[in-house]
Amino acid sequence: MSPMEAFSFERRITTPSEINRRVKQLIEGEIDELWVRGEISNFTRAASGHLYFSLKDSTAQIRGVMWKGNAQRLRFQPADGVEVEIRGKLSVYEPRGEYQLNAAEMSPAGLGALYMALEALKRKLAAEGLFDQGRKRQFPAFPIVVGLVTSPGGAAVRDLIRVARRRWPSVRLVLAPTRVQGEGSAVEIAAAIELMNRWGQADVLIIGRGGGSMEDLWAFNEEIVVRAIAGSRIPTVSAVGHEVDVTLSDLAADVRAATPSNAAELVVPDAREWSERIERLNRQLNRAVVDGLTIRRRRIESITATHGFKRPRDFLTQEAQRVDDLARRLALGTERRLIDARRRASDLDRRRQPALRNLLTRSRARLDRLSAQLGSLDSTAVLSRGYALVLRADGSSVVTTAGDLRPEDRLMLQFALDRAAVRVESTIPGGPGDI
């Protein structure tokens, strides 16, 4: 440092930090929140979720930032070249001495007023309960007639028809044609919904259109359309624009589809899926009936395998065998018996004469023996009293009279216990004498 400088008048020295701090105080203190309109460029979305961009007009630009918290509430996609309106405050980034617009809210240019009106309408209808989850109805799983409320010339109706037919070849589609954008389109859409309700034969309504700008989709934010959807007796599916586009119609409908194709997928069942399900049921049906029969057969087998059942069965078997046997024997036996009987009869015939003769002979012999015994018993009794029996000497015959005798005949005297041999001296005629 030179001596000259040391003696110069006192200079007021500041620093970059201090300048930036003073500028920050000045800008942030003096300039209130403001609305800025410009075109976005150098747009980047940081990994943190913060948005960085420049906002420019034909001659100048300003750096801008939107913190994550505000960025999450955005209802549209900012991008380079998009004209936007931003509500925010100026702020200074002290380390770099840069100032920037700190955006709290951002909307496409020209729609700001519309958005405010939309928010007001949304609050009003929500307060009436039109968006309540409790109002949401289910539509039939297998609609026969699907009502379409859309433009007959748009891509949406073609997508709907193509997807619906591909999924369920016999689906019946009825289109209530309406314009879906431009002046008066909202009234037409509402009228088409009412016409569908008066017709009353659709099982479900798909209401929507293909993608477009926010202005293109605006009819579906109109009160008359939202009320028509909320008042439809037929369940409704909204299909407005693309996934990111959410209209009041979407909030009022029973189901919100992301796109028209998606609506057809939600509403029309997939025949291929269901034919698989039917085939599966068919297999289950067959298996169940076969299982039922198998179980019954096993049950019968397990019963018949038990001792208690086996015995009667054995018994029955044996009975059956016996019956068989008997039948066989009956057949055989009858014949054999006839043969036997016949043979026995002829045998008897053959044996009859000798048998009888034997019998008679044996009987007679027995009778002779008995009568002889009787005779001898009788005579013995007499003889024991002192009488004697006179027999020829050979014992062959009894001599009953002397007149049969000659002198010198040899006789036998039979006493009760013994005999004596005698000779005749003479015979004497006459009576019994003195005895």
For the CB of residue 171, give the shortest distance to another protein in the complex, in Å.
6
Which parts of 272-331 interact with another protein (CB under 8 A)? Answer: 274-275, 277-279, 281-282, 284-285, 288-289, 291-293, 295-296
Contact criterion met (CB below 8 Å) for 35 and 86: yes
Helix, strand, or coil (residue 315): helix
- Nearest distance, CB of residue 230 and another protein, angstroms: 21
Owner of token pair 């005949």 = 409
Query: How many chain residues are in contact with another protein, going by CB under 8 A?
Result: 49
Is residue 200 within the footprint of another protein (CB under 8 A)? yes
User: Quick one: which of 161, 266, 399, 411 contacts another protein (CB under 8 A)?
Assistant: 161
Residues composing the chain:
435
Asked if 38 and 64 count as a contact pair (C-beta separation under 8 A), the reply is no
Q: How far apart are CA 147 and CA 44, in angstroms?
A: 43
Instruction: Kindly provide the b/e burial profile for residues 348-377, where b requires at least 16 CB atoms within 10 angstroms of the residue's own CB.
Output: eeeeeeeeeeeeeeeeeeeeeeeeeeeeee
Among residues 92, 118, 157, 206, which is the contact residue for another protein, using CB under 8 A? Answer: 157
Sequence-separated contacts (24+) of 413-421 with Cβ below 8 Å: 413/388, 413/389, 414/379, 414/383, 414/388, 414/389, 414/390, 415/383, 415/388, 416/380, 416/383, 416/384, 421/393
Dmax (CA) of the chain: 240
For residues 202 and 318, give the distance between their C-alpha atoms in angstroms, rounded to a whole number.
Answer: 74
Cβ proximity to another protein: between 15 and 170 the closer is 170
The burial of 63, by beta-carbon neighbours within 10 Å (0-12 exposed, 13-18 middle, 19 or more buried), is given as: middle
Instruction: For the CB of residue 166, give the shortest distance to another protein in the complex, in Å.
Output: 8
- Euclidean distance between CA atoms 389 and 379, whole angstroms: 8
Of 206, 203, 138, nearest in space to 176 by CA: 206
Residue 175 vs 189, nearer CB to another protein: 175
**At its nearest, how many Å lie between another protein and the CB of residue 140?**
7
In the complex, minimum distance from the CB of residue 211 to another protein, in angstroms, rounded to a whole number: 19
Window contacting another protein (CB under 8 A); options: 4-12, 153-161, 356-364, 419-427: 153-161
Q: Which of residues 240-269 bind another protein (CB under 8 A)?
A: none
Contact between residue 149 and residue 177 where contact means Cβ atoms under 8 Å apart: no
Show the tokens assigned to 359.
């019998």
Out of 165, 379, 388, 391, which residue is the one contacting another protein (CB under 8 A)?
165
The answer to whether 19 and 6 are in contact (CB under 8 A) is: no
Cβ nearer to another protein, comparing 70 with 178: 178
Segment near another protein (CB under 8 A); pick from 74-82, 110-118, 187-195, 407-415: 187-195
Which of 201, 302, 363, 427 forms a contact with another protein (CB under 8 A)? Answer: 201
Stretch of 110-118, 164-172, 356-364, 422-430 contacting another protein, by CB under 8 A: 164-172
Interface with another protein (CB under 8 A), residue from 35, 199, 309, 315? 199
Footprint of another protein on 84-143 (CB under 8 A) = 140-142
User: Which residues have a Cβ under 8 Å from the Cβ of 50 and sit 6 or more positions away?
Assistant: 65, 66, 67, 68, 71
Q: Is the dihedral of CA 73, 78, 84, 87 positive or negative?
A: positive
- x/- mask, another protein, residues 166-185, rule CB under 8 A, reads x-xxxxxxxxxx--------
Quote the least distance from Cβ 135 to another protein, whole Å.
Answer: 23
Min. distance of Cβ 251 from another protein in angstroms?
Answer: 25
> CA-to-CA distance for 70 and 203, rounded, in angstroms?
42
User: Closer to another protein at the Cβ: 281 or 330?
Assistant: 281
The residues of the shown chain that bind another protein, judged by CB under 8 A, are 140-142, 144-145, 147, 152, 157-158, 161-162, 164-166, 168-177, 191-192, 195-196, 198-201, 271, 274-275, 277-279, 281-282, 284-285, 288-289, 291-293, 295-296
